């Protein structure tokens, strides 16, 4: 299965549509045909969203995503798994590993990522999605320095 994610839209809703599952409260659970797993969404003020993925898939799942050049959104993807996850970022293979700098991936506008999820291996990811305005609101001085 291939899921094409639009970084500008709610991530949980896109997975729910792809897996043909309903969102209950803050959670989407996988159908057992796909394996075990769930995606939880925890919204915070200023449009900050924390997505918590916990999966043990029975079949292959590939995810293609691009944060468009014009995007107002930023993402921080953090591998919480014991196993490394393989990603292709800007056509370069990266082993996305826990407890190492390569265990976090920051999606700025223009970032393209392709990943293939492991089969029958538990894995866990935290994804933080927030608009650029979040930085401007909470880190005014720092954001000014980044914008110049």
Q: Ramachandran region of residue 46, left (φ > 0), alpha (ψ -120 to 50) or beta?
A: left
pLDDT of residue 40: 95
How far is it, in rounded angstroms, from Cα 127 to Cα 53? 8
Give me the pLDDT at residue 42, please: 95
Q: Which residues of 39-58 are buried (b: 16+ CB within 10 A; e: fewer)?
A: bebeeeeeeebebbbbbbbb
Q: Report yes or no: 12 and 28 within 8 Å, Cβ to Cβ.
A: yes
pTM of the model: 0.82
Per-residue pLDDT of the chain (148 residues; tens, 9 = 90+): 888 988 889 999 999 999 899 999 999 998 888 889 999 999 998 888 999 999 888 888 888 888 888 888 988 888 887 765 666 555 656 655 555 545 677 788 888 888 888 788 888 889 999 998 877 776 766 656 555 4
The rounded distance, in Å, linking the Cα atoms of 90 and 75 is: 16
């Amino acid at each position: 299965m291939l899921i094409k994610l639009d970084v500008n839209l709610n991530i949980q809703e896109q997975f729910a549509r792809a897996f043909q599952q309903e969102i209950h409260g803050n959670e989407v659970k996988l159908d057992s045909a796909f394996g075990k797993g769930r995606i939880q969404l925890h919204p915070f003020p200023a449009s900050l969203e924390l997505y918590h993925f916990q999966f043990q898939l029975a079949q292959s799942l590939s995810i293609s995503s691009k944060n468009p050049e014009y995007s107002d959104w930023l993402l921080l993807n953090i591998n919480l798994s014991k196993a490394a996850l393989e990603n292709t970022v800007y056509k370069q293979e990266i082993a996305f590993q826990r407890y190492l700098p390569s265990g976090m991936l920051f999606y700025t506008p223009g970032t393209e990522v392709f990943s293939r999820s492991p089969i029958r291996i538990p894995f866990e990811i935290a994804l933080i999605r927030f608009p650029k305005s979040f930085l401007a609101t909470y880190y005014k001085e720092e954001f000014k320095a980044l914008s110049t």
